[in-house]
Amino acid sequence: MRKVLIANRGEIARRIIRTAHRMGLETVAVYSEVDAGAPHVREATQAVLIGPAAASESYLRTDKLLDAARRTGADAVHPGYGFLSENADFADAVREAGLTFVGPPTQAMRIMGLKDSAKKAMKAAGVPITPGYQGEDQSLIRLERAAQAIGYPLLIKAVAGGGGKGMRRVDSEKEFGDALIAAKREADRSFGNDGVLIEKLIARPRHVEVQVFADSHGNVVHLFERDCSLQRRHQKVIEEAPAPGLSDRLRHTLGIAAATAAHAIGYEGAGTVEFIVDTDASDKEGDPLFYFMEMNTRLQVEHPVTELITGFDLVEWQFRVARGERLPALQDDIRINGHAVEARLYAEDPESGFLPSTGTLSRLELPQGLPGARVDSGVEPGNAITIHYDPMIAKVIAHGADRNVAIDRLVAALDACVVEGVKTNRAFLAQLADHAAFRDGAIDTGFIARHADDLRPTADVPDRVLALAALAVVAETDAQPRHTMFEQLGGWRLNLPARRHLDLFVGDEAPRKVTLEAIDGAYRIGGLAEAVSGSGRFVGGATFEADVDGELVHAVVLRHGSDVEVRVGGRAFRIGTQPPKAAAVGAGGGGKVVAPMPGRVLGVFVKPGQKVEAGDRLLVLEAMKMEHRLTASGAGTVASVQAAEGDQVAEGTLLIEIELEDKN
């Protein structure tokens, strides 16, 4: 292996390039027209344009990828994750072209590529699987009988699925038919395979996965587990390693089960065996029961947390195994060192149902040099977040001697992230990581939904935060050049301590009239519920260090025009220094339903003249690999429908008009 083509983009392409170059390998990047300015293109040894922005015309085109390998003299292909990474036909094509595929044998990919065949193989190997039906008979009658035998509630899952697509929860027999049709339709559209399986619903599951590695010499190891239970709409949000709260016995049992799964299918390379852990059922030793869910036959997005607790470079292991080498370490050589937590920073708007946000990154500052922090990102300032690919900006990862230290470092790293040009889930992630129940390890896949109220932005601003804002404004003012005598005097008063006056605005409340009186090198801050004393200074960029009543506080303070954003302890607060502008009158809303982002209309469910109620489904829009359900804001009559199934629409496009009923 001398030169490797990376059949991917973004942060995983950069991640692979970094290790490949360290190992002395040359790299070939591929890119679509919209990715011409992406960092991975510049950082690779060579780069090849493979088509327009649409993934179906570029990153998913086997012929173009193999042609790029041939033209550049690459002798290996690393698929990264996503796109074609688990496509057995692609792996076959790479090998038939005489190239090394940095991944598992095709047969193992095919077994694990479908949930039904995977579960059959695991059952035969003695790995526990969730009670359910994985049969080939997909008739409605057979599936209904299986559902009755399993009992409700249950899950319908696409056999070729992932990421929650083709999955439906069913709570009663009367819901089953409609749910089955919807799951099959979504599975067919997403994966070209409408096959489903049915399994018992675990009410409060944890999602625990085990990293495995195998070589061509018969060696199989596990590198311990990760907990990926913090999910939203079946998409992972925060991952950590090792999983909190597991006994040594359960950790060992999970590792053995995962290694058994890999050995049973003749696996080679990096893989992840995913388990559902039932928090409501336990074995005779008191450990919760667990069941095989699926195996990902590739490197995972969350692999950095495993790297940080084991000290191994998993991409390097992939290259070594692909070259026919033995694993760099055997099971007894692998130890857990501390704890690691990862958060996925996305361009999305939590206040609008986590809709993806597109635009150009006018400002992007990711934490560098913070203790224990690591950032893997595929974008730079000036790059665009588009509708064509996953809207991830970065993976923010933190490592510490124990779980609390790792979480503290993750919150600090998230507070230090500055992104402008798109909306992000940064504040949501920081609040989630700092939530008391998460810190206590009381987690399952329903955590985010259960604590939704706690994770919403708060309108209340504590007095201590107002004090920080006031100190930051004064520190910022004092750092500015002073040209006139009056500017130089600042808050000077004859025979009295210098005093500053600030009006601080929180939402629509009356201004808080804050005074800062200089006393002995600090300020006495009045206008709050209780006066406090404090001082503060910027210690680099937006990092603000303050002493408030003898307590040292570290915060991130950002300016947004006349507003000040204070981030402290995982929470973000916006405080105005000028009266808020009056909201524009008549700016849309009402009965006008517009596209919240660019996307493709998957379905329209109303027609002119139809009566609707608040919350009724109107239209489904697909953007950034996700489906977004648009609903009626109130009761009324559909006046017009401006979009049809299959239409590609721009952000702000009028889709449907509704004549809302007069509530008076």
DSSP for 352-367 reads: GTTEE--EE-SEEE--
Residue 554 identity: H
Question: Do 169 and 147 meet the contact criterion of CB atoms below 8 Å apart?
Answer: no
String of DSSP letters for 266-305:
T--EEEEEEEEEEEEEE-TTSPEEEEEEEEE-S--TTHHH
State how far the alpha carbon of 423 is from the alpha carbons of 10, 152, 364, 428, 479, in Å. Answer: 19, 40, 12, 11, 30
Q: Which of 229, 617, 628, 288 is nearest to 450 (CA)?
A: 229
For residues 597 and 3, what is the distance between their CA atoms, to the nearest angstrom? 40
Three-class SS string for 149-174?
A: HHCCCEEEEECCCCCCCCCEEECCHH
The first and second tokens of residue 145, run together, are 């009988």
Helix axes 403-415, 426-433, angle to 10 degrees: 160
Distance from chain centroid for Cα 196: 26
Q: What is the DSSP string of 594-614?
A: E-SSSEEEEEE---TT-EE-T
Angle at 302 between CA 84 and CA 570, to 5 degrees: 135
Percentages (nearest 5) of helix, strand, coil residues in the chain: 30, 35, 40
* Ramachandran sector of residue 9 (left: φ over 0; alpha: ψ -120 to 50; beta: rest): beta
Q: Out of 15, 61, 298, 571, which one is annotated catalytic?
A: 298
Residues 276 and 255: their CA atoms lie apart, in Å, by: 14
d(CA 516, CA 442): 43
Structure tokens at 338: 């501390």
To the query of whether residue 567 is one of the catalytic residues in this protein, the response is: no
Neighbour-count burial for 3-22, b at 16+ CB within 10 Å, e otherwise:
bbbbbbbbbbbbbbbebbee
Which residues are annotated as catalytic?
A: 298
